[in-house]
Structure 1
Amino acid sequence: MSRNNIEKLPDLQNLDHLVYLDLSYNKLMEIPEENLDILASLLTLNLSNNLLTVFPPDLAYLYRLKILDMSGNDLKELPPEINELVSLEKLDLHDNMLEELPASIGKMKTLTYLDVSNNKIMSIPATINAMGSRCELKLEEQSSIKAREMEEDPPNES
Structure 2
Amino acid sequence: MAALLILNGPNLNLLGTRQPEVYGTTTLADIERACRDHAQSRGITLDFAQSNHEGALIDAIHAARGTFDGIILNAGAYTHTSVALMDAIFSAEIPTIELHLSNVHAREPFRHQSYIAKAAVGIICGFGARGYTLAIDAMLGHLEARA
TM over 0.5: no
TM range (shorter): 0.3 to 0.5
Task: Please state which structure has a larger fraction of its residues in helix.
Answer: 2
Greater Rg by CA? 1
Q: TM-score, normalised by structure 2?
A: 0.33
Q: TM-score, normalised by structure 1?
A: 0.31
Which structure has the higher relative contact order (CA within 8 Å, separation 6+)? Answer: 2
